[in-house]
């Protein structure tokens, strides 16, 4: 695996692959890799002759500076993991490389960032759009891979790709879960022992909502989630939303006519975790 720090070097290496007609798969990450990330790399490796992963903890997408400071970083382990899944190139830029100047771009996501993560984390998706466009411009991939745990992020990225005419196929990959059901996340390593145990309640709540869908309305489902989560000692519900899977518009009534996804954000102690479940699977 080649490790590259500068966009100009990445350009030179990737131009050669492009000349040979080799499609490039790209997996952008913020490091602290887990099996969820590795499943994205595996998918890219099986779809493309060349896979590039990036590791960059992007400051502009953190609306909370403590969260940025505490974000887990494991560069040595990450490199070994990427080698073990046959990633070809690891791009590890620093802040100067990605933001030589302040990025003042403001993106318009329409309704997509007015709810859930967009509402709760002001500026977050604008920061995601800033870095993802910079990374897309640097890598110029044919395909880019994102995990469905970040359900709203995928919708935002598809919108950017459409609006800015990027010729990149966005591939959404299934959520990878721990044995007890907790969605894998780099932030899970920050949980204290008891918080980690209780965090299983997040997926359990989504599963219960899926079970109850036939005989209850949305407000009852929200009340159910609030009670289930907030009655667990170290958990606190930030939101539960049930939205149309494609438009992200909250639904008033669940019918089998439209695909719906339940999205949840929960604080386990100080650590904020998100998860989601398609309700008709
Ligand atoms: O999903 C993430 O890890 C980040 O939001 C991303 C896409 C790598 C941009 O920093």
Is the distance from the beta carbon of residue 152 to the nearest atom of ligand 1 less than 6 Å? Answer: no
58 lines ligand 1 (CB under 6 A): yes
Q: Give the C-alpha separation, 103 to 122, whole Å.
A: 16
For residue 254, what pLDDT is reported? 85
Helix-strand-coil split of the chain, %, nearest 5: 45, 20, 35
Question: Percent of the chain scored above 70 by pLDDT?
Answer: 99
Q: Hey, whose CA ends up nearest to atom 2 of ligand 1?
A: 29
What residue owns the CA closest to ligand 1's atom 8? 29
CATH class of 2-173: alpha beta
Report yes or no: 104 and 23 within 8 Å, Cβ to Cβ: no
Nearest to 121 by CA among 269, 276, 243, 272: 272
Q: Give the model's pLDDT for residue 216.
A: 67
Cβ contacts of 189 within 8 Å, gap of 6 or more:
32, 72
The single residue listed with the structure tokens 């870095």 is 131
Q: Rounded to whole angstroms, how far apart are CA atoms 208 and 228?
A: 10
SS (H, E, C) 204-244: HHHHHHHHHHHHCCHHHHHHHHHHHHHCCCCEEEEEEEEEE
How far is the C-alpha of 57 from the C-alpha of 70, rounded, in Å? Answer: 11
Pocket lining: 274 vs ligand 1, CB cutoff 6 Å: no
Q: Which residue has the tokens 């992963």?
A: 53
Question: What's the burial of 250, exposed, middle or buried (CB within 10 Å: 0-12/13-18/19+)?
Answer: middle
Mean pLDDT of 164-175: 98
Which of 30-44, 151-165, 210-224 is predicted least confidently?
Answer: 210-224
pLDDT, residue 215, reads 61
pTM: predicted TM-score of the whole model, two decimal places: 0.97
**Top mutation candidate among 63, 98, 128, 139 for ligand 1, by most atoms within 8 Å of CB:** 128
Kindly state the average pLDDT of the residues 174-183.
Answer: 98
Q: Burial of 267 by CB count in 10 Å (0-12 exposed, 13-18 middle, 19+ buried)?
A: middle
Query: 76-93, pLDDT tens digit by residue?
Result: 999 999 999 999 999 999
CA-128 nearest atom, ligand 1: 9
pLDDT given for residue 214 in this prediction? 76
Instruction: State the average pLDDT over residues 101-117.
Output: 98
Q: Is ligand 1 within 6 A of the CB of residue 131? A: yes
pLDDT at residue 56 greater than cutoff 80: yes
Largest distance between two CA atoms of the chain: 59
Catalytic positions, written as ranges? 37
Asked if pLDDT for residue 253 goes beyond 90, the answer is no
Which pLDDT band holds residue 257 (cuts at 50, 70, 90)? confident
Give mean pLDDT, residues 164-184: 98
- C-alpha 27: how far from its chain's center? 11
- Is 173's C-beta closer than 6 angstroms to any atom of ligand 1? no
Q: Considering only CA atoms, which residue is closest to atom 6 of ligand 1?
A: 29
Which of the two residues, 30 and 258, has the higher pLDDT score? 30
Average pLDDT of the chain to the nearest whole number? 97
Average pLDDT over residues 161-166: 98
Domain ranges in the chain? 2-173, 186-274
Residue 259 is classified by DSSP as: -
What is d(CA 279, CA 281) in angstroms, rounded to the nearest whole number?
Answer: 6
Token pair, residue 191, equals 């949980």
CATH 3.30.1300.10 applies to domain 186-274: yes
């Amino acid at each position: 695996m080649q490790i590259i720090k500068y966009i100009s070097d990445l350009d030179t290496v990737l131009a050669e692959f492009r000349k040979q007609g080799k499609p490039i798969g790209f997996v952008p990450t913020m490091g602290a890799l887990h099996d969820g990330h590795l499943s994205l790399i595996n998918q890219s490796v099986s779809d493309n002759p060349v896979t590039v992963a990036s590791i960059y903890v992007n400051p502009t997408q953190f609306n909370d500076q403590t969260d940025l400071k505490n974000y887990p970083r494991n560069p040595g382990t990450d490199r070994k993991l990427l080698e073990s899944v046959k990633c070809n190139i690891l791009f590890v830029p620093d802040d100067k490389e990605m933001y030589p100047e302040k990025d003042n771009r403001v993106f318009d996501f329409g309704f997509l960032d007015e709810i859930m993560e967009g509402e709760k984390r002001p500026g977050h998706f604008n920061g995601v759009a800033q870095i993802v466009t910079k990374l897309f411009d640097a890598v110029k991939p044919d395909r880019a891979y994102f995990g469905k745990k970040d359900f709203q992020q995928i919708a935002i990225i598809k919108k950017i790709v459409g609006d800015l005419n990027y010729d990149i196929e966005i591939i959404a990959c299934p959520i990878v879960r721990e044995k007890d059901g907790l969605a894998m996340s780099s932030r899970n390593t920050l949980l204290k022992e008891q918080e980690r145990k209780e965090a299983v309640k997040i997926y359990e709540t989504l599963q219960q909502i899926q079970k109850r869908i036939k005989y209850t309305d949305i407000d009852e489902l929200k009340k159910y989630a609030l009670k289930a989560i907030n009655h667990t000692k170290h958990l606190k519900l930030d939101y539960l939303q049930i939205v149309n899977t494609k438009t992200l518009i909250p639904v008033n009534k669940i019918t089998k006519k439209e695909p719906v996804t339940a999205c949840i954000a929960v604080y386990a102690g100080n650590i904020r975790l998100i998860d989601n479940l398609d309700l008709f699977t």
